[in-house]
Structure 1
């Protein structure tokens, strides 16, 4: 029983500490997701240092159960606001929310850096920027500064098609061939027409028009062409 209580105490204490640390520290993950990974990793590594495998397995099992319970509870609207931190507004209608920045402990230069990464250089053009509970920043530009959409121009566009990979890293993806109701013979016939070999192909995808796009190991050299400049010393 003492083992059970200790696991619960460690889990709850770690959760509180991470919540106090703030959303920036747990970017990409919710607080208890990160805590689950940290605690479970530490528990699993304990037998290497202590040699008590049985107790470590019990701790790990309790931790997994607690995590599953928290995930299930987070599906309920009333408990979600308790388990997840609320989004924090950083910019609203072009105005920077200094209280929001102070709350998430983000300096101005970091905010501007995050906006540049997302392609925004002027805060005045942003309708709202929010730090989500995962630590990510969501940005919605003002309507006059957002990219033009086909509906804006009343254009009818074709349905989006996702190229289907058939070869990746010189390995045939048979389940995608089966999905397309094609077989290995068809693929080899197509490769023969294009004078390609499976072992030389990095990526081959099935296109909307029924043809193959192939990217092989061959690299086209563009010596001294400024449009093909590559940063670094390998020029």
Structure 2
């Protein structure tokens, strides 16, 4: 029981400290972001083997405070260039920057694979490609190769609407009902009209026209329909 309790304390403390840290530390990481995670992980795992749980948690809190201070300092432009690495240009106006690739130690075949993942097969069609400070590669195509935008054709498009989930995995999302000023009775009634039960619904969303779209757990039978082909011998 002591081992289980100690592991629970360590896990809970680590979770709370990461929540305090914020999303940034667990998304795309900079150098000291990654170092922070490594150090914090080692510190909070110490009590699993040793009995100094109080000392370990104290060190963890100090590391979190120190990290938060660094994040605050990085908001200042002068200090930002010290704490973060600068983006490295890898392609300029269709020409590959060999010095840039050498600086980031990125082999040509690996670089080309990153471009293909982003949908680019011809380097001469790229205006600029850079490795950002997070380690990800961003690509800006030349104007004649970028996707056509509605503004290019002087088209007016309607505002994008994001469907709001009201049921997920058979559970009602009550705070979304409250946000839309809808009653649970309305939702149950709409579900009943569709001949469904709440517990059988994978996802139900509130659409722009005020209707309820329902996706249940059942898969439709599309036998021999080529548009629903699945690779393998069980198709």
The TM-score range, normalised by the shorter chain, is 0.7 to 0.9
CA contact (8 A) 1:27 1:135 kept: no
**SS, match of residue 176 in structure 1:** helix
The equivalent of 2:124 in structure 1 is 124
- Give the CA deviation at 1:200: 1.0
- Give the CA deviation at 1:224: 2.8
**SS, match of residue 195 in structure 1:** coil
CA distance in 2, matches of 1:38, 1:234: 44
CA distance in 1, matches of 2:139, 2:214: 36
Structure 1: give runs of 5+ residues left out of the alignment: 1-25
Under a length normalisation based on structure 2, what TM-score does the superposition of the two structures give?
0.85
- Give the CA deviation at 1:27: 8.7
Once superposed, what is the RMSD of the aligned Cα atoms?
1.5
Structure 2: give runs of 5+ residues left out of the alignment: 1-25
The equivalent of 1:101 in structure 2 is 101
Under a length normalisation based on structure 1, what TM-score does the superposition of the two structures give?
0.85
- Single out whichever of 66-75 and 225-234 deviates more from structure 2: 225-234
- Give the CA deviation at 1:55: 2.2
Alignment of 1:38-57 (within 5 A): 38-57=38-57
The equivalent of 2:76 in structure 1 is 76
The equivalent of 1:17 in structure 2 is none
- Give the CA deviation at 1:231: 3.1
CA distance in 2, matches of 1:188, 1:142: 52
4+ aligned runs moved over 6 Å, structure 1: none
CA distance in 2, matches of 1:234, 1:172: 35
The equivalent of 1:139 in structure 2 is 139
- Of the two structures, which has the highest relative contact order with CA contacts closer than 8 Å and spacing of 6 or more? 1
CA contact (8 A) 1:206 1:212 kept: yes
Alignment of 1:140-219 (within 5 A): 140-219=140-219
CA distance in 2, matches of 1:233, 1:134: 42
Count of equivalent residues = 210
- Give the CA deviation at 1:232: 4.0
